Structure 1
Amino acid sequence: MALENLRDLYQQVILERYKKPRHRGKTEPTDRYQKGHNPSCGDTIELTLKLSPAGDQIEDVKFEGEGCAIAMASADLMAEAIRGKTLDEALQMVQRFQTMMQGKDEFPPELRKLNVMQGVSQFPVRIKCATLTWHTLKAALEASNAQAVGVVSNE
């Protein structure tokens, strides 16, 4: 596929996820909550997670927030991708996403939807938009209970 066609496809997926997010809302119950904010552009995200009874697997994840198409699409794609993952697997995905934003990695075929965000790495000023929800997820996963640890910023 030509690079221009690939870029168009990425832009279509981002716009579709922005306009019609599939994972907007709040989980019931909420086992983890974290708010994130990008002060440079005003994007905000509130992430809620429902964990398995043992507390070691993500059963559901939802988000609320306001921001640009990249930030909201990234949140929606992330929410879909981490469902059913263990906390450790999700933390590994956070690291892989950050590496992908540096142009050094990509996700395997079973998580290829996340690779649509790869194009953002060509625009350094927009990387913070794409990574906000992932920074917020990391803070939520590292918390020991449902309470947020302040507001996460990716500045």
Structure 2
Amino acid sequence: MNTQNHLRNLQYQTILERAKHPQNQGKTNPIHQQQLGNNPICGDRIELTIKFNQTNQIIEDIKFQGKGCALTIASADLMAETLSGKTVEEALEIIEKFRQMLKGEISLLDNLPKLNIFQGVSQFPIRIKCVLLSWHALKAALK
């Protein structure tokens, strides 16, 4: 197996593992903000809850619940993990960079290696919506 196929297989395995055993499912306590992400075309539906620090400048926790394909669930789980502890500004910046990577506008995110497992999705434009569903919901919640 060549290196590129091996890498793609590893990325696929990681996505499946995250989808089967998400670490950020549930609801935050307390819930300071919540947002629904819904893609009626494929039936993916994610509800985010967000907990902020006292000044509402730092995202202390993000949880999600809902249903969707492996890409939707894995992406929501990694988004919650990646953006917890970030300021609202940092989170919005990362959301935009992640979107650009998925669209093939920029290459791998050096400072966010876990998110790079989704880079291959740029070759399947119809699946980009699955990956971005929770990210768009979070962006709407933060604005």
Q: What TM-score do the two structures reach when normalised by structure 1?
A: 0.88
How far does residue 139 in structure 1 lie from its aligned partner after superposition? 0.5
Unaligned stretches of 5+ in structure 2?
none
**What is the distance in 1 between the residues matched to 2:74 and 2:38?**
16
Runs of 4+ in 1 over 4 A off after TM superposition: none
Q: Pairwise mapping of residues 4-153 of structure 1 onto structure 2 (< 5 A)?
A: 4-105=5-106, 106-109=108-111, 111-142=112-143
How far does residue 121 in structure 1 lie from its aligned partner after superposition? 1.1
**What is the distance in 2 between the residues matched to 1:107 and 1:62?**
23
Higher relative CO (CA 8 A, sep ≥ 6), structure 1 or 2? 1
- State the number of aligned residues: 141
RMSD of aligned Cα (Å): 1.0
**What is the distance in 1 between the residues matched to 2:125 and 2:60?**
33
How far does residue 63 in structure 1 lie from its aligned partner after superposition? 0.2
- Find the counterpart in structure 2 of residue 153 from structure 1: none
Unaligned stretches of 5+ in structure 1?
143-155
Q: Percent identity?
A: 53
Q: What TM-score do the two structures reach when normalised by structure 2?
A: 0.96
